[in-house]
Structure 1
Amino acid sequence: MRIIIAKDYKEMGKKAANIIASQMILKPESVIGFATGETPLGMYKELVDLYKAGSLDTSKITTFNLDEYYRLSHDNPQSYAYYMHENLFKHIHIELSRTHLPYGMCEDIEEECTHYEEKIKNAGGIDLQVLGIGRNGHIGFNEPDVKFEARTHMVELDQDTIEANARFFPSMEDVPKQAISMGIKTIMGARKILLMASGAEKARAIYDAIYGKITPELPASILQLHPDVTMVLEKEAASLLTIVQGKQTREFAV
């Protein structure tokens, strides 16, 4: 596991974008798994800037998102499909047929989840999966549980997650309580994983994900078993890690 500590949010986004850009340059037809939320916004801006500068060809990539709220249509401003369109897809050259998210308005959850897994398989699997991390250690929407969920599935969101997402909705009652998410086995099937985190409220989850025991009660801890994980952490999110102080950016392996 490689840990990169950035001095601030902007540097975190730039370093994460450079990792994704390198993947696209080395393999133009890469399959990229994307994440949503506040954490990767800076990364998406940096990717758009690289594209506009003529430094990045995005025309051949295929994308799969981690998750989508259940019962939010893709044109809902709070949906993750809308988020991806506004923050990335409409600013770069990519055919929308090459972009994929779970369909939150589906009538048959099991069929939708199976179909999503089939699309990932047919694309050749995910080359690089981007992750955030919740305050409770969730990745995707895989909440702390008594077991690791294997594949794409329906999740019941924890109260902590609902409260964290409430700022994006008019009221607590409007926050979705369910979502469709890639499972842990799907995420672990990616050839490379890039996890981003910012803010002191993520520090404990980051520490436990790296140094704690591997347990479904902290889903991100499973990443200890993946052969190629890079964490790009803003310094406050890395504040509980033991590092040599004195430089604005540190890189080390655990």
Structure 2
Amino acid sequence: MEIVVLDDPRACGRAVADAVADVLARGTGRPPTLGLATGSSPLPAYAELVRRHRDEGLSFAGARAFLLDEYLGLPAGHPQSYREVIRRELTDHLDIDPAAVHAPDGTRADPAEAAADYERLLAACGPVDLQILGIGGNGHIGFNEPGSAFGSRTRVATLTERTRADNARFFDRPADVPHRVLTQGPATIMEARRIVLVATGAGKRAAVAATVSGPVTTDVPATVLRDHPRCTLVLDRAAAGERAGPVATGQVGAPGRGR
């Protein structure tokens, strides 16, 4: 696991955008495939990608994208559905084909079937070349809450009250936050060729410390990433805490291997 510590969220966003641009530039004989996360931490990266497309001609033509998770029970087009968030914050401003942006279908009558269909689509189109992740205050990745089995795949999951409270700021009322979600499981996430997790703000410091230094345990789902051969944590100084000084660097282009 490589750790990159930068001064602020905007610098973290530029570093994540560098990793995306690197994937887009590589010719592999197949469409470049991106895994997209929502939440606050990736937003500076998405803003930087939009800027590079607008000002520098960075092209997403021919790329495809897969969202990490989705709420269950929100109607199609709800502004806080993750499909809508990604569309609004990123893909509507790029030259990516909207039909190439895929998300779990949280409106399906049978969510377990929707999860299985999404897992099959990922298997058919994958592997994901670069998966962008955030991290929850309790160490969740995607919506894999503490206790999620490392071997689990795309499935229906139930949010903890802590996660619902953390996400309440995006809704009109706390009661409006859904209780259930569709999420890629840790085993699905770990199949990505490369993972970049971005965490900013002091509120993520404890989760980052547990991920980097604590035992590998389902109590902190993000610790599974320590077993990925190409995983980079991009942190601002507030999230890094005491790790800020000795590991600071500005490059994410060629992440190291190993733990």
* TM-score, normalised by the number of residues in structure 2: 0.92
The verdict on how the C-alpha distance between 1:242 and 1:90 changes in structure 2, with shifts beyond 3 A counting, is: closer
Q: Deviations over 1:171-201 (max 9, x none)?
A: 1111111110000000001110010000111
Aligned partners of 1:146 and 1:34: how far apart in 2?
A: 20
- Amino acid across the alignment from 1:161: T
The verdict on how the C-alpha distance between 1:174 and 1:16 changes in structure 2, with shifts beyond 3 A counting, is: same
Aligned partners of 1:104 and 1:250: how far apart in 2?
A: 37
What residue number does 1:23 align with? Answer: 23
Aligned partners of 2:14 and 2:245: how far apart in 1?
A: 21
What residue number does 1:224 align with? Answer: 226
What residue number does 2:205 align with? Answer: 203
What residue number does 1:154 align with? Answer: 156
Paired residues for 1:1-254 under 5 Å: 1-27=1-27, 29-145=31-147, 147-148=149-150, 150-241=152-243, 243-244=245-246
The verdict on how the C-alpha distance between 1:127 and 1:19 changes in structure 2, with shifts beyond 3 A counting, is: same
Q: What is the aligned-residue identity percentage?
A: 36
- Amino acid across the alignment from 2:83: A
Aligned partners of 1:236 and 1:20: how far apart in 2?
A: 24
The verdict on how the C-alpha distance between 1:4 and 1:248 changes in structure 2, with shifts beyond 3 A counting, is: closer
Aligned partners of 1:250 and 1:239: how far apart in 2?
A: 19
Aligned partners of 1:166 and 1:121: how far apart in 2?
A: 33
* TM-score, normalised by the number of residues in structure 1: 0.94
Aligned partners of 1:51 and 1:3: how far apart in 2?
A: 27
User: Residue 150 of structure 1 aligns to a residue in which SS?
Assistant: coil
Aligned partners of 1:109 and 1:87: how far apart in 2?
A: 26
User: Residue 241 of structure 2 aligns to a residue in which SS?
Assistant: coil
User: Residue 217 of structure 1 aligns to a residue in which SS?
Assistant: coil
Name stretches of at least 5 consecutive residues in structure 1 with no aligned partner.
Answer: none
Aligned partners of 2:50 and 2:251: how far apart in 1?
A: 26
Q: CA deviation at 1:242?
A: 6.7
Aligned partners of 2:83 and 2:182: how far apart in 1?
A: 13
Asked if structure 2 preserves the Cα contact closer than 8 Å seen for 1:129 and 1:187, the reply is yes
Aligned partners of 1:184 and 1:208: how far apart in 2?
A: 17
Aligned partners of 1:94 and 1:207: how far apart in 2?
A: 36
Aligned partners of 1:232 and 1:146: how far apart in 2?
A: 24
- Amino acid across the alignment from 1:23: V
Aligned partners of 2:66 and 2:45: how far apart in 1?
A: 17
User: Residue 240 of structure 2 aligns to a residue in which SS?
Assistant: coil
The verdict on how the C-alpha distance between 1:88 and 1:105 changes in structure 2, with shifts beyond 3 A counting, is: same
The verdict on how the C-alpha distance between 1:18 and 1:249 changes in structure 2, with shifts beyond 3 A counting, is: closer
The verdict on how the C-alpha distance between 1:27 and 1:211 changes in structure 2, with shifts beyond 3 A counting, is: farther
Aligned partners of 2:35 and 2:250: how far apart in 1?
A: 26
User: Residue 142 of structure 2 aligns to a residue in which SS?
Assistant: coil
Aligned partners of 2:214 and 2:249: how far apart in 1?
A: 26
Alignment length (residue pairs)? 253
Aligned partners of 1:108 and 1:218: how far apart in 2?
A: 29
Name stretches of at least 5 consecutive residues in structure 2 with no aligned partner.
Answer: none
User: Residue 236 of structure 1 aligns to a residue in which SS?
Assistant: helix
Q: CA deviation at 1:148?
A: 2.8
